[in-house]
Every structure is written in structure tokens, then in C-alpha cells.
Amino acid sequence: MLADIFKEKTPLTERDTFLLFERTKASFTFPVHTHEVWELNFVEHAAGARRVVGDSDEIIGEQDLVLIANTELEHAWLDGACRSRDIHEITIQFPPTLFDSPVFQKKQFDSIMRMMAKAEYGLAFGESEIRRIQPYLRMIATEKGFYSVMKFFILLYELSLSHEVRTLSSKVSQELSESDRLMQKMLGYIEKHLAQTITTDELANYLGMSSSTFFRFLKRNTRHSFTEFLQEYRINRIVHELNSNSRDPIMDIASRYGFVSQSYFYKVFRKYKGITPQEYRENYQRVRVIV
């Protein structure tokens, strides 16, 4: 049912070697999805969260590190039984074409290329390996330009030497459960109407549910009320734009996601991020765009 999978839009461009996003959040709001980039995703302080990669569906511990080298392999981190309000996430996205260069056919890159081949089905690294490579992972965010690229490849090389690592999915795509299918359908509708007012009645009708059934469905799958879920989803999409080095005025970005009042937007942003959007842009932006 790959056609039902949500397609994430990435800010990665053809001139980028990779993008790094570092964020702290209270919940996982992005659905099961695919994207046209490969991804290394580190999550901590999210014990009890549900990780879906292809047909692998697991509950994660305090730390989780997964490499996905397949643009068709659906994946997501979902709230599950996680009750943390301080989830820390570092995501590195990079293009598959990065490894098309003949230099990666040299023997010095053999272990990295073997790892990428296995990561077609998703690779999960064990706790000891996560502890071992964390310094490399954190160093990347402290550098810019050439040195950041070098540390990225050092990180990949160190990961390729891991002994405590396992393949996650047994196949590229999976059949979605009815609950997951409805979540995908709901998120697809929300994405198309983010700049507009979205009501529970119209969403319930779109999903073929009564209002009371929709409320129960949303609470069971997100642990949030509709207002809370939509607010956090919109804020995370705005943060995604801020992390992409967008130079647009903040309120221009906010208006694209349904916020008209600046005072209300700042109030909601502070609620979920603890700072104002301007402070986030100036002091807490952690993306690194490497040209």
C-alpha cells in the first residue's frame, strides 16, 4: 500500500551534502512516511515510543539510532507508551546520489558501502555502539563547511565498524493497519489545508466517522486533543522551515500554517518550544547546510 504512505518534503537541495536537524519536542507528530533522501536518526529520552521501519514495529528504549538507506522504506517514530516531554532528536538527511561518485568504489570505503547496502532495510544500532559514536554525532553540529563534511564521513565510517547492529525490516513496504491508514489519511488532509481553519466535524466526515468516534480515535493514537495535536503539528512544520534556513519573515512562514495573529502564534510557539520564534531562529537553530 505504498501509495498510501505520506511523502515528506525535505529542504535538502542538490547542492547540499547533508542537513542536520537537532530538536527537542514533547511528542512525535509525523506519520509513517518516506522521502527522497537517506536518513540517520538518533532519539533519546523517548523510552516506550514505537518505532516503525517497514514491517518492523518495535518499542524503543532510552536511546535509539537507526540508519535508513532506501527512499521507499516507510518509517516513523510514534508516541506509543512514551510519556517524556523532553524527547531529544538528531536527524541527518543526505542524498543517495552522494555515493554515486567513483571515489566510493575505492577499498577505503568498502565498509561504508556494505553498511549502506544493508541499510536498505533499516539498521538499528545497539546501546554500546550508540555510546561509542555519540561524540562523533554531536561534533558534526559544531562545525561548518569542509570540516563538518569530514566529520560526517568519519561518523559513517565508525558506524560501519559496529558489531552490535541488526537489520529491521524483512521487506521494503508493508501493509498498513486500519488505524495507521486512517492516520495517514487524516495527516494528508491536514497537510493540504494547513493554512486554513480545520474543524473536527470536517475531519470526522472526511474519515467517515462520527465526531465522538473521531475524538476517541485521535486520543487513542496521539494522546492529545485535536487542538493540541494540530497546534503541535503546525509548530513542528514551522520549525522545519526555520531549520531549513528560510529567510522569509517569521509571520509569513506562520501564516502558511494557519496562524494569522502574531500574539497567538508566539504564545503557541512558546508553549511547545519554550522560547519565541525569533529566539529560536537566532539562538537555537541547529541545522547545518553544507555546500
pLDDT in tens, 112-128: 999 999 999 999 999 99
- Condensed to tens digits (0 to 9), the pLDDT of residues 234-266 reads 998 888 788 766 688 999 999 999 999 999 999
Q: What is the pLDDT of residue 185?
A: 87
Q: How confident is the prediction for the chain on average, in pLDDT?
A: 87
Provide CATH 2.60.120.10 ranges for the chain. Answer: 2-167
Q: Beta 38-44 vs 19-25: how paired, if at all? A: unpaired
Task: Give the neighbor-by-neighbor strand order of the sheet with 75-78.
Answer: 6-7, 33-34, 75-78, 50-53, 56-59
Q: In the structure grid, which three cell numbers stand for residue 40, read together?
A: 540517520
Among the residue ranges 25-29, 208-212, 214-218, 281-285, the one predicted with the least confidence is: 281-285
**Matching residue, cell 533522501:** 37
Give yes or no for a contact between 186 and 194, defined as CB atoms under 8 angstroms apart: no
- Compute CA 282 distance to the chain's CA centroid, rounded to the nearest angstrom: 22
pLDDT of residue 290 exceeding 60: no
Q: In the structure grid, which three cell numbers stand for residue 267, read together?
A: 504564545
Query: CATH assignment of 178-289?
Result: 1.10.10.60
Give yes or no for a contact between 8 and 35, defined as CB atoms under 8 angstroms apart: yes
pLDDT of residue 95 exceeding 60: yes
Counting residues of the chain whose pLDDT is more than 90, the rounded percentage is 52
Checking 149-155 for CB contacts under 8 A at 24+ apart, the result is: 149/17, 149/18, 149/290, 152/17, 152/18, 152/92, 152/94, 152/290, 153/112, 155/40
Q: What is the pLDDT of residue 100?
A: 86
- Residues contacting 278, CB < 8 A, separation 6+: 250
- Residues contacting 81, CB < 8 A, separation 6+: 48, 49, 50, 59
**CA distance linking residue 65 with residue 148, whole number of Å:** 20
**Matching residue, cell 521501519:** 53
Checking 136-143 for CB contacts under 8 A at 24+ apart, the result is: 137/42, 137/90, 138/90, 140/20, 140/92, 140/288, 141/20, 141/22, 141/90, 141/286, 141/288, 143/288
Residue (of 288, 291, 243, 290) closest to 141 by Cα position = 288
Rounded to an integer, the average pLDDT of 6-26 is: 83
Rounded to an integer, the average pLDDT of 67-94 is: 92
What value does the CA radius of gyration of the chain take, rounded to a whole number of Å?
19
H helix intervals, 209-280: 211-222, 226-243, 250-255, 262-273, 277-279
Give yes or no for a contact between 76 and 23, defined as CB atoms under 8 angstroms apart: no
**CA distance linking residue 137 with residue 141, whole number of Å:** 8
- Residues contacting 265, CB < 8 A, separation 6+: 251, 254, 259, 277
CATH 2.60.40.10 assigned to 2-167: no
Give yes or no for a contact between 265 and 259, defined as CB atoms under 8 angstroms apart: yes
Provide CATH 1.10.10.60 ranges for the chain. Answer: 178-289
Name the pTM for this structure. 0.67
